[in-house]
Amino acid sequence: MNEALYIFLAAGLVSMSAALSASALNKLTEDEKPEWLKSKNAQVSVVLTGNFAALSLVGAMAYGFLTQHWSIPLSCMFLTFPIIHIAVLHRMLGDKTTLMLMLPLTLLADIYLYINWP
C-alpha cells in the first residue's frame, strides 16, 4: 500500500513540476525570453514537453485514484504538488533548470507507473 503512494507522489510531483515550468516559460514575453527560447523550434519543444508532462500527470492521477482513497490524489493535485513546485523547486532552480531536470524524471515515472499499474 505504501509503495503505491510513493509511486503516485513521485510521478505526480515531477509531472506537475515539468508542466508548470513549461507553462511559465511559454508565458514569458518576447523581451523576457532568454536567447535560447527565442527560436520557433525551442518554443515548440517547450510546448511539446509541457504537453507530455501534462499527459503524464493525467496518468499519475489515474494511478492515484485507482490505488488510493479519492481525497489523496485530489488534494495533491490542487495543493501539495503546486505548493512544492512553487515554494521549493521554482525558487531554488528556476523554470529552465526545473524543466530540464524534471523531464527525464517524468519519463522514468511513466515507465514505473506502467510497470506497477494495477
DSSP state letter for 116: T
Q: Of 97, 27, 109, which is closest to residue 60 (Cα–Cα)?
A: 109
pLDDT tens digits, 3-23: 999 999 999 999 999 999 999
pLDDT one-digit tens code per residue, 67-81: 999 999 999 999 999
pLDDT band at 1 (very low <50, low <70, confident <90, very high): low
The average confidence (pLDDT) of the chain is 96
Determine the structural domain holding residue 25 and report its residue range.
2-115
Cell of 83: 505548493
Asked if residue 116 lies in contact with residue 7, where contact means CB atoms within 8 angstroms, the answer is: yes
Would you say residue 101 has pLDDT above 90?
yes
Percent of the chain with pLDDT over 90: 97
Q: How far is CA 41 from the centre of its chain?
A: 21
Q: State the maximum Cα–Cα separation within the chain, in Å, rounded to a whole number.
A: 49
Q: How many domains does the chain have?
A: 1
